[in-house]
A and B are shown apart, each in its own frame.
Chain A
Amino acid sequence: MGSTQTNVDLASPTNISQRRMLVSLTPQAAEALEITLDNLAVAFSGQTVLVLTPDQLPSLSQDSPLRFLPYTSAATSTVAWVHTAADYLNIYKLLQEHQAAACLMLGGESHTLPTEALKALAKATTNSDLAVARYNLGSREGLVNSAILYPITRALFAARPRFPLAIDIGVSPRMAERLAAEALRLTSANQNEALIWPVAAAATANYSITEIDAGDRILPAPAGHDLNALLAQIAGSLFQDVDAKATYWQRARSLPSGRFALPPNSQIESPSDITPMLDAFQLAYTNLHEIWSLVLPPNSLLGLKRLSALPTASFRMPDSLWARIIYDFILAYRLRTINRGHLLGALTPLYLAWVASHLLLIGNGTPPEKHIEELAAVFETEKPYLVSRWRWPDRFNP
């Protein structure tokens, strides 16, 4: 059975006034912190909210519902834009220490998170173990999430949240405990900055997941701007998680019902210049073919060959090809067919080809969200391919 999933109706009355909530904030500028605290005060008026922030504390009015907790950041993290293993471990300790009913972990730029989203996150924790925010992003934002993270999480863990590597989440105490247990495994191996995948963790524990609509929000930017390093870090962490939870996802699971309606195309964006991405792909095709042939079966290589011969205007990577490429890379990551750093490096040009294809498609009028949903559905359809190759990797695969 997959995890249950519900969408929160903001209009219904909330039932959280009696619960003591813990809110964790990431380091931010003084002005941003003030806005965040104001939003929290509005969202949780009439309640007591324990706020954890490593920043210098501003003075609060007498009637403010916020109470600050003394908190020293465990270590200076270089991965400030997502929650790390050390963060989850700290939160669980504090949650236990202060006997809070639930915890909201807000990521960077949390001052741009609407008050309604804060309320919805808090409300969602009353009846589910994990509340995950869903954001309205532009068609050119969160592309790694759309191309890899969301389709894999949906197909393998039968979980619908659109942002599996959530920036803002709400967790129940038992979910926090579960995440802390995963985090402890990593921190004890001195991997304090390793990423944790809460949606996958909740799905494997059969905990309930709720997705709330957070509306427009500025997502924090990663510290480094090197796509190769970031993609390797994120994809590597996800592939490792998929490997660790193989016994769970190999069983057939049905996707829970309930979904947000596709957002309307609010703004028409100018067509993107995909030439640099296609150049990167063409260059990689002529140079990395030998490495790809170690990872990909002949059918996928043939697909890439056809792709490399397409003119720019009609460049289109079939969704099934992309799904199989990702699945083959997951398998090669597990089998260590080649060095893992090399493997993830060889994925970057293929990802850029997908981005080019996606941008071209939405430039031709296809709604981006429609394409991403179709892609996720193809990942689900192709899941038996991964299961089969996972179980019998040496079997002939054309």
Chain B
Amino acid sequence: MWQQVELALSQSAHRVLFKLASFLPALLALFLAVLILTLAGVALSALLRRVLNFIKFDERITRNQGSNVSDWTPSHSPTVLLARTAFWSCVVLGFFIGVSAFDAAYPGDPQISLVVLPYLTHSVGAIILLIAGTVVARFLARSVLIGAVNAKLQYARFLSLGVKWLVLVLTAAMVLDHLQIGGTVVELAFGILFGGIVLTLALAVGLGSRDIVSRSLERNSDLIPDPLAGSPEYKTTPVAETLRHF
């Protein structure tokens, strides 16, 4: 009996070691592919940056477009954006090649790339969605905040936060949907959250704008000829001061 246990142990150890021995080259191939493509990405990015700087790409883009790409990510010039895109494309390509190499080198499960590759693609898409959503949310939040402050709306910050969270919730729902996580729960939660934020904003803006609307209505009613207007003691309208900024 002891011999059988020993045999079972040695066989399982042999199997595990064999699997590990066949797994390690596959893993090494994956890492090598990622490393090589990352290095290629660094080189390509540097080359691209030099070439674009040489041909004054940023200036051309700024000249040819009224609102340029950098309006969305202001601290990064178009050159930097392109260089980074090239770099990350290489890294992602490295992952794809690495997974394929892993699949080829690992005899255990030949179908692994069929499962991992589509999910990897979805993950890349989800990351891009997340980044774009965050950038758009920040851009819109600032636009609304500055616009509302300059329009002298007291609830400017609240409005800005509302818009920001609307976009972020929408982004989160899209990312989860893209990754196929949560299923209908995400859709339901998104609907409730989105509707809730819109309703809250509508109520807040509606209640906050009561004064503006009533002032506007009063102003309109002032335009209607008043039969009492002829009376000297009826109303003393202050003359609007004239400030000319330009």
Contacts and interface: CB of A to CB of B under 8 A. Distances in A.
Contacts of A234: 246
A338 B142 contact: yes
A219 B244 CA distance: 10
B146 A336 contact: no
A242 B89 CA distance: 37
Contact of A222 (B71, B242, B246): B246
A349 interface: yes
Given A273-B241, A283-B154, A336 B63 contact: no
A282 to B, nearest CB: 10
| Residues of A in contact with B, size category | 35 or more
A141 B146 contact: no
Contact of A230 (B67, B71, B152, B245): B245
A141 B244 CA distance: 4
Contacts of B72: 339
A339 B139 contact: yes
Interface string B207-246: 0000000000000000000000000000000000111111
A89 interface: no
B243 A349 contact: no
A75 interface: no
B39 to A, nearest CB: 29
Nearest to A231: B245
Interface in B45-80: 63-64, 66-67, 70-72, 74-75, 77
B150 A336 contact: no
B167 interface: no
Contacts of B152: 276, 279-280, 283
A287 B64 contact: no
Contacts of B75: 335-338
A181 to B, nearest CB: 15
Contacts of A143: 243-245
A340 interface: yes
Interface in A332-385: 335-342, 345-346, 348-349, 355
A335 B146 CA distance: 20
Contact of A283 (B149, B160, B242): B149
Contacts of A340: 71, 74
B209 to A, nearest CB: 15
A284 interface: yes
B149 A287 contact: yes
B146 A142 contact: no
B91 interface: no
A339 to B, nearest CB: 5
Contacts of B243: 140, 143, 272, 355
A294 to B, nearest CB: 10
A391 B143 CA distance: 30
B146 A342 contact: yes
B64 A288 contact: no
B163 to A, nearest CB: 14
B246 A142 contact: yes
A338 B138 CA distance: 11
Contact of B150 (A137, A142, A228, A230): A228
A10 interface: no
Interface in A253-269: none
Interface in B127-163: 139, 142-143, 145-150, 152, 154, 156-157, 160
A345 B147 contact: yes
A189 B68 CA distance: 13
B233 to A, nearest CB: 23
B246 A230 contact: yes
B208 to A, nearest CB: 13
Contacts of B70: 336
Nearest to B244: A141
Contact of A291 (B139, B145, B147, B154): B145
B150 A345 contact: yes
A144 B243 CA distance: 11
Given A345-B146, A346-B146, A287 B245 contact: no
A73 to B, nearest CB: 22
A237 interface: no
A81 B150 contact: no
A81 B246 contact: yes
A227 interface: yes
Contacts of B142: 291, 338-339, 342
Nearest to B146: A345
Given A189-B63, A339-B139, A144 B150 contact: no
A284 B149 contact: yes
A273 B154 CA distance: 20
A288 B145 CA distance: 8
A335 B64 CA distance: 19
Interface of A: 81, 137-138, 140-145, 185, 188-191, 219, 221-222, 227-228, 230-231, 234, 272-273, 276, 279-280, 283-284, 286-288, 291, 335-342, 345-346, 348-349, 355
10 contacts: A140-B243, A219-B244, A231-B245, A335-B75, A337-B74, A338-B75, A342-B74, A346-B146, A349-B149, A349-B150
- Nearest 10 pairs between A and B by C-beta? A345-B146, A189-B63, A141-B244, A336-B74, A339-B74, A228-B150, A144-B245, A143-B245, A284-B149, A287-B149
Given A188-B63, A273-B241, 5 more contacts: A140-B241, A140-B242, A280-B152, A287-B156, A291-B142
